[in-house]
Amino acid sequence: MVKLERLRADHAEALLVFERDNRAYFARSISDRGDAYFSEFATRHRALLAEQDAGVCHFHVVLDEEGRLVGRVNLVDVADGTAELGYRVGAAAAGRGVATAAVRQVCRLSATTYGLVSLTAVTTLDNTASRTVLERNAFVPTGPTTVAGRPGIRYARVHLGLGGQ
């Protein structure tokens, strides 16, 4: 069982370690964050918390059974009852249902805590694992897109309180 926690200031150190440890792993399927992301991490973390406090984003860390940070799930561009979902799970937790469970939990929070009625998400066409996570959580494909210059697919999930939960 995984646990979601809303991002806090005291998550900064563990989150930075998670991102550094998984940098090469993530770069295989999504654009690398670049060196500036890591060198300016403390400033960026404070900025994310300010965005969260303003209600325009909802950031979460994913913890495993032992309380280790193994992923993150974010809702960005919150407006008019909708948001865009993004998530990443580290290499050590990949393939164990962590992303599926974390997305399921954030869908519940989206409806019950954040008052959202729909979510969107994008992934590359060749990211079968990410597409599976979305489809297991009642997201449906809505059309093609481009993700970091690569062919992708856009997904949506409406009526967050129903299905896939």
Which domains are present in the chain? 3-158 (3.40.630.30)
- Residue among 26, 13, 8 at smallest CA distance from 93: 26
Confidence at residue 1, expressed as pLDDT on a 0 to 100 scale: 81
For the chain, how long is the longest CA-to-CA vector? 42
Question: What is the mean pLDDT of the segment spanning 127-131?
Answer: 93
- Cβ atoms of 76 and 57 within 8 Å: the answer is yes
What is the structure's pLDDT at 33? 86
In this predicted model, what pLDDT tens digit does every residue of 15-25 receive, in sequence order? 999 999 999 99
Output the pLDDT for position 161.
Answer: 63
pLDDT band at 55; cut points 50, 70, 90: very high
Instruction: Give the Cα separation of 7 and 45 in Å (integer).
Output: 9
Q: Three-class SS of residue 25?
A: helix
Residues 150-159: tens digit of each pLDDT: 899 999 998 7
What pLDDT, on the 0 to 100 scale, is given for residue 164? Answer: 47
Are 156 and 139 contacting, i.e. CB atoms less than 8 angstroms apart? yes
108 in Cβ contact with 165 (< 8 Å): yes
Give the percent of the chain with pLDDT over 70: 97
More confident residue, 58 or 32: 58
Q: What is the pLDDT of residue 8?
A: 98
For 63-103, how does the pLDDT look when each residue is reduced to its tens digit (9 = 90+)?
999 999 999 999 999 999 999 999 999 999 999 999 999 99
Phi first, then psi: give them for residue 120, nearest 5 degrees: -120, 160
